[in-house]
Amino acid sequence: MFSRSLGLLFLVLVAAVAGAWLAGLVGALVGALLVMLAVIAADLWRAQKVDNWLRHNNVQDPPILSGLWGDLVDRLRRIVTEQRKQTQTHEQRLQDFLSAIQASPNGVVLLDPQGRIEWCNQTAAQHLGLDAKRDLLQHVVHLLRDPIFTKYFAQAEHDNEVLIDGRSDSLQKPFKLSLQLHAYGENRQLLLTRDVTAVEQADAMRRDFVANVSHEIRTPLTVLSGFVETLQTLHLSDSERSTYLNLMANQAQRMENLVNDLLMLSKLEGSPLPAITQSVSIQALTNAVQQEAQALLSMNLIDSQASQKLHFQAVPEMDLLGSQTELQSAASNLVSNAIRYTPGGGSIDVRWDALPDGRLQFSVADTGPGIAPEHLPRLSERFYRVDRSRSRDSGGTGLGLAITKHVMQRHGGELKIESKLGQGSRFSLIFPGARVGIQKIHQS
C-alpha cells in the first residue's frame, strides 16, 4: 500500500514537471490532474472486473490483476473458496441427515409454526397417505382427517402418543399407527409416526393367550372341584367312587398335559437353537413315536376310534441333526392328532421320504373329516381350534401344532398342511438337507 502511494506520487510529480516545462503552472496542474484521472480510471476498470468476477461467482477463474487489486482478488478468492467449502460441507451433512431420516423405519414430518408440512420422509408419507412433494405447505390436520388426531393436535401438551388407523390401500391389511408431536426450534413441531401393528397384535395375542390358558385350566378345575365336593358330601358305592376317581384322574391328566405343553413352548422360545452336532437316528425316533401312538390307541380316549388302522412305512437309514426331544415331540404331535381326529374304521399312514433336492420329509396322512381351507393358515396358532367342543372331547390342549411349528423353525424346516373336506388331511415335516445325515444311501 505504501509503495503504491509512493508510485502514484512519483507519477503525479513527473506529470507536473512535464506540464510545467511545457505550459508553466497551468500545465503542471493539468498534468497532475490527468495522471490522477488516469489512475482513478484504471482503478475503476479493475474494480469493475472484480465486481463482474464476484457477481458471476466464478471463483476458479479470477481476473489477473497486479498490485493492490491483485492482492485483494487473491484474498477474496481464498475467502470465497473457504466459504464455499464450508457451505458444501454443511449441505452434505444436511443431505446425510435427511438420508438417514429417509431410511428410518419411523415416519418424520416437520411442521412450521402454523402446522403446515415443511418436509416429510417416505415412511411418513406411506403411513399417512401423503405425497412428499405435492402436500408441502399443506396443513397436516387438513390432510390427516382423523378426529382422534385433530383433538390431539389441538391440545396444548403432547406428552403422550396417540393411536390411529393408518392409511392403507388394502382393506385386507389394516395397520395401527402411533403418532406423537414434539416441539423444536421457534414454535415448530416434529411429528413422529410409528407402525405399531405388530405390537398391537402381539398384545392381543398375549391377552388371548392368557384368556385361553385360564379357560383351559378352569374347565378341568371346575370338574375336579365338583367331583371332590360330591365325594365329600355323598355316600357313594365303590363302583360310583371308582368312576368319579377315574374322571378326576382324566381331568388332572388334561391339566398336566396343558402345563407340559406350556412348559415346552416356553423352553422352545427361550433356549438356543439345537446344535448340528447332535445326531438322532430316524429309526429310533420312529420307534419312539410308534410306541406313543400305540399307547394312545390303547387308552381308548374315544371309543369310536378304537378300530383305526395305523401303519408305519419302512424307515430310511438316515440320521437327523438336532434335538431328540424336540423332534420326537413334533412327530408325535402329528401322529396323535391324526389318531384323535380320524374316526373308527379310518386309516393313518406314517412315512419318511427322501426328497430329490436332499431334504427329508416326515408325513402323516389320515382319512379323517378334513379341514376347510379357511382354517388351514391358522392351525398352528396357539389354542386355535376348528371345532372347540370336539377338540376338548378328544383330549387335545390346542398347543400341539404350535409346538411343532416352533420345533421346525428351530431346525430350519417347515410344517406343511394339506387337507380337503371329506378326504382327510396330510401333515408333513420337511427338514433341510443340512440337517440330514445319511447312514446308507437307501430310500423307502
Q: How far is residue 31's CA from residue 41's CA, in Å, rounded to a whole number?
A: 15
Domain count, the chain: 4
Q: Do 339 and 437 belong together in one domain? A: yes
CATH number, domain of 255, equals 1.10.287.130
* Residues 358 and 433 sit within 8 Å (Cβ to Cβ): yes
Mean pLDDT over 13-23 rounds to: 61
- Written as nine digits, the cell of 439 is 447312514
Per-residue pLDDT tens digits for 265-283? 888 877 788 877 788 999 9
Mean pLDDT over 396-417 rounds to: 89
* Whether residue 233 has pLDDT greater than 50: yes
| Candidate from 39-53, 148-162, 218-232, 354-368 with smallest mean pLDDT | 39-53
Contacts 24+ apart (CB under 8 A), 390-396: 390/341, 392/219, 393/302, 394/301, 394/302, 394/340, 394/341, 395/254, 395/257, 395/301, 395/340, 396/337, 396/340
pTM for the model stands at 0.56
Q: Do 303 and 391 belong together in one domain? A: yes
Q: Do 257 and 291 belong together in one domain? A: no
Q: Which domain holds residue 131?
A: 105-195
Q: Do 304 and 402 belong together in one domain? A: yes
Among the candidates 73, 98, 123, a domain finishes at 98
Per-residue pLDDT tens digits for 55-104? 766 666 666 766 666 677 777 778 877 888 888 888 888 888 778 888 88
Q: What is the mean pLDDT of the chain?
A: 80
* Whether residue 338 has pLDDT greater than 80: yes
- Return the higher-pLDDT residue of 9 and 290: 290
Among the candidates 65, 98, 131, a domain finishes at 98
Q: Do 177 and 296 belong together in one domain? A: no
* Whether residue 181 has pLDDT greater than 90: yes
Q: How far is residue 115's CA from residue 142's CA, in Å, rounded to a whole number?
A: 10
Among the candidates 131, 165, 195, a domain finishes at 195
Q: Do 80 and 141 belong together in one domain? A: no
* Whether residue 440 has pLDDT greater than 50: no
Mean pLDDT over 415-443 rounds to: 83
